[in-house]
Amino acid sequence: MREILPALSAWYAAGVPFGLATVVAVSRSAPRDPGAAMAVGPGDEVVGSVSGGCVEGAVFELAQEVVASGEARLQTFGYSDQDAFAVGLTCGGELTLLVRPVSPATDPAFGEVAGSVAAGRPVTVATVTDGPAPRGATLAVWPDRVAGSLGTDGLDVAVTADARGELALGATGLRHYGPRGERREDAVTVFLHSFAPPPRMLVFGAIDYAASVARIGDFLGYRVTVCDARPVFATPKRFPQGVEVVVDWPHRYLRDTDTDGRTVICVLTHDPKFDVPLLEEALRRPAAYIGAMGSRRTHDDRMKRLVEAGLTDRELARLRSPVGLDLGARTPEEVAVSVAAEIVALRWGGTGAPLTATAGAIHPH
């Protein structure tokens, strides 16, 4: 959704209705996650994707129909091999889409939501997908206010509370309620789409490897900062556009920087006077991943110094060192792929093994 918002905002500002299809549920090997979106705008212009090409033709027609009728539609696509020309997912999965018309008349808060997402301000959009409440009705929920309605005050109150909880986690998914927000009923299905600010990647040590790690971090959607105490190395021209470059002692910068359970910290400093005090700080604060570069000998010396500094076994167990998965990487770019692979595997519980050597679902529930 983030990628197509500029086009949607332009259509919305011009007052032109468009059809917005959003993946609200998936099962098995569906190609896109909940929140993936595709829109059909003026002149039949298409932006985004919901399946990587499998069902986009059918979704294009659905989007045209909902704009013409003004009524939202819920559609499920699954695997189909009975007819070579049937619309279905060749991967064997199943995805459910909500396709709804969007315009200033049907969704007055859409422009403000788009502005918040573009500015990195957190917001969750709750949309009715099924049940006695109006399908396609939306409620935008910020940490301090709401806009719109799902049909009843009770439903709005219950969904607002859940939406703020999901926003804190950056989570997206379906919730079920009674018509007036009853918790133990499931008559109304609501899709909560959270737009939390991008997670942070903090890269310490402005070396060639840092430029490659920063580049792949930016590609994965992180807000990347590179920090080094040496101004001759910490120059913006050495790093991709959009990457923040800071000249400061790494441990001092981290001490004054907020981190959370999604933050990635990559220590590439290769120098005990930098990385030991930095890791002392990092291993005692929230983070999803803390990795440090170095040889086996460097790692052993670093661990000894960290033990002497008073870190516990539990704190030291959080450290991924030497950093990255065993890919046989040599170049900075290959090492960056190794580091990114480890970050993704740790996030989703992957093994790092070749898929040809594994069995069962590729994407476990």
Relative to beta strand 200-204, strand 188-195 is unpaired
pLDDT in tens, 201-221: 999 999 889 999 999 999 988
Check residue 92 and give its pLDDT. 57
Check residue 83 and give its pLDDT. 39
Contact 180, 154 (CB under 8 A): yes
Within 8 A by CB and 6+ apart from 76, the residues are 94, 95, 96, 97
Q: Average pLDDT, stretch 101-125?
A: 94
pLDDT in tens, 248-303: 999 999 999 999 988 999 999 988 999 999 999 999 999 999 999 999 999 999 99
Check residue 168 and give its pLDDT. 74
Reduce the DSSP state of residue 149 to 3 states and report it: coil
Q: Which residue type is seen at 243?
A: V
What is the spatial distance between Cα 182 and Cα 176, in angstroms, rounded to a whole number?
Answer: 9
174 conformational bin, left if phi > 0, alpha if psi -120 to 50, beta if neither: beta
pLDDT in tens, 55-111: 888 899 999 999 999 999 999 887 554 433 345 555 556 889 999 999 999 999 999
DSSP class of residue 197 equals P
Hey, what are 81's tokens? 């091999």
- What's the N-to-C CA distance of the chain in angstroms? 22
Which of the two residues, 348 and 317, has the higher pLDDT score?
Answer: 317
Comparing C-alpha atoms, which of 156, 155, 157 is closest to residue 186?
155
Q: Average pLDDT, stretch 305-320?
A: 96
Check residue 50 and give its pLDDT. 87
Tell me which H or E stretch contains 100: strand 94-102
Q: Which residue type is seen at 78?
A: G
Crossing angle for the helix pair 110-119 and 5-13, nearest 10 degrees? 140
Which range among 37-41, 163-167, 221-225, 360-364 shows the weakest confidence by mean pLDDT? 360-364
Within 8 A by CB and 6+ apart from 202, the residues are 225, 227, 254, 257, 259, 263, 264, 265, 266
Q: Average pLDDT, stretch 105-122?
A: 93
Contact 280, 267 (CB under 8 A): no
Omega before 322 cis (within 30°)? yes
Reduce the DSSP state of residue 73 to 3 states and report it: strand
Check residue 29 and give its pLDDT. 59
Check residue 78 and give its pLDDT. 76
